[in-house]
Amino acid sequence: MRKTLCVLLAALPAALSAGPIVYTPVNPSFGGNPLNGPNLANSANSQNKFTDPSVQSLFGRTPQSQLDLFNQRLQSLILDRIANSLSSSLFDANGNLISIVQQSNGTLLITTLDKTTGASTQFEVTQ
């Protein structure tokens, strides 16, 4: 009993000297330290498992897989070659399919050339 009484008497001054418990917020929005902000934001973002479907990546596009990018580039290459082959069969040596000449009386003389038959058609447009 003496031992218990000695322990209580020894602990009594420590308990009497304790100050009041004061709450200090952690979040800077509620008065906490401003240096805690980035740490709290990173912690919240790392725990967030949800994605907003309305949010898109750079330039308003959704991210594409490497396979989608490859297919898109291959399609562009094929369409470019088709366009080049068509344009070489549609235009003459100078690259002209339609010739437009402004005449002195203010009209335009438009000449079209049919490469398969060699026939040409001319018509005038008044301004």
Q: Where are the domains of the chain?
A: 1-50, 68-127
Which pTM was predicted?
0.29
CA 93-95-72 angle, 5° bins: 120
Segment 111-121 mean pLDDT: 76
> What are 56-115's pLDDT values in tens digits?
555 666 677 888 888 888 888 887 876 666 555 555 556 556 777 778 887 777 777 776
Per-residue pLDDT at 120: 81
Per-residue pLDDT at 51: 73
Q: How far apart are alpha carbons 67 and 48 in whole angstroms?
A: 28
Q: How far apart are alpha carbons 127 and 125 in whole angstroms?
A: 6
Q: How far apart are alpha carbons 123 and 7 in whole angstroms?
A: 118
Dihedral sign from CA coordinates of 22, 24, 30, 34: positive
- The answer to whether the CB of 62 falls within 8 A of the CB of 54 is no
Per-residue pLDDT at 76: 85
